[in-house]
Amino acid sequence: AQSVSQHNHHVILSEAASLELGCNYSYGGTVNLFWYVQYPGQHLQLLLKYFSGDPLVKGIKGFEAEFIKSKFSFNLRKPSVQWSDTAEYFCAVRPGGSYIPTFGRGTSLIVHP
């Protein structure tokens, strides 16, 4: 069965620091990849997605992610975080041809002002 690993469970940064959250998956074929964010007290929202094409994907709020097929990775990045980025971040993977997405366990990000 496919699995999704998010290596950093808790990340604490100061404002203006750079962010990189890791996501690796175990499926060997074509995949669709997603990053979702959950702000405190709010529902899960899509940050960005990769289906095909340019492996560097730009999302909302200055986030981007790079799909590296050889490493089975889809890491999330932001050059300069803000206090408002404090949230839980989830990576999700859906094998091509499947309707079933699998989520990682999430990374809790706290940004100090």
Residues within the interface to another protein (CB under 8 A): 4, 6, 32, 34, 36, 42-46, 49, 90, 92, 99-106
DSSP string for residues in 84-109: GG-EEEEEEEEETT----EE---EEE
Q: Looking at beta carbons only, is 17 or 88 nearer to another protein?
A: 88
How far apart CA 81 and CA 31 sit, in angstroms, is: 28
Q: Looking at beta carbons only, is 97 or 113 nearer to another protein?
A: 97
Amino acid at 71: K
Q: Looking at beta carbons only, is 67 or 90 nearer to another protein?
A: 90
